[in-house]
Amino acid sequence: MSNAHPSILFVCLGNICRSPLAEGIFLHLARQRGLDGIVADSCGTGGWHEGETPDRRAMAVAQKRGVHLPSRARQVRPKSDFTNFTRIIAMDASNMENLLAMGAPRERVQLMRSFDPAYSNDGAPDVPDPYYGGDDGFDNVFDMLVVACEGLLDEITRASSRAAP
């Protein structure tokens, strides 16, 4: 695993709502900041939607806000994902527990909302799963993810400026 460029894996349950939104938002914001070399992907702890595009409501809210969702659903691949990504970002405590049970290195697994300045690492609430709700749930999740992705990018920027010679 190389630490030269950060690599982020966003993880939710089925990889069709929260984690693809987080991936798309994160990449969009990184481009806006002119940050090159950051790698991001998303996956789910379950494989029910393997190969599918994100939920139509996730696609709609992203398109409305000018964000492209680049990936198709896939299930976490413990051997390669836990080796290749410098950060593994879980959307909720249940996903985090599942990742740790699969062997994810604890020091690289964090909750998405732990990057929201309103919360500490210990008290970060879950990003709620909007799948069984209405369209407004996707808008709310999008807004939560923007704040958390901005915080994650701030942390990455601070870390790289400390590491620079």
For residues 30 and 148, is the Cβ–Cβ distance under 8 A?
Answer: no
Q: Which of 121, 151, 131 lies closest to 49 in space, CA to CA?
A: 131
Note if 129 is an active site residue: yes
Is 1 domain-assigned? no
The pLDDT of residue 36 is 81
Decide if 2 is inside a domain. Answer: no
Kindly name the residue from 17, 18, 55, 81 that is annotated as catalytic: 18
134 domain-assigned: yes
Is the pLDDT reported for residue 123 higher than 90?
no
User: Is residue 138 over pLDDT 60?
Assistant: yes
77 within a domain of the structure (yes/no): yes
**Tens-digit pLDDT profile for residues 56-72:** 999 999 999 999 999 99
Asked whether the predicted pLDDT for residue 1 surpasses 50, the reply is no
Average pLDDT, the chain: 92
Which structural domain range is residue 146 located in?
7-163
User: In this predicted structure, what is the pLDDT of residue 41?
Assistant: 98
Q: How many domains does the chain have?
A: 1
The span from the CA of 19 to the CA of 25, in Å, is 10
Residue 26 included in any domain: yes
Mean pLDDT of 77-97: 97
Residue 164 pLDDT more than 80? no
Q: Which two tokens stand for residue 71?
A: 């990936």
Mean pLDDT along residues 97-124: 90
Catalytic residue, chosen from 17, 81, 129, 149, is 129
Indicate whether 8 pLDDT > 80: yes
Query: Does 43 qualify as catalytic in the annotation?
Result: no
pLDDT exceeds cutoff 60 at 2: no
Q: Is the pLDDT of residue 28 over 80?
A: yes
Q: For the domain that residue 59 is a member of, what is the CATH number?
A: 3.40.50.2300
Give the ranges where the chain is alpha helix by DSSP (H).
Answer: 18-32, 56-64, 78-84, 93-101, 135-163
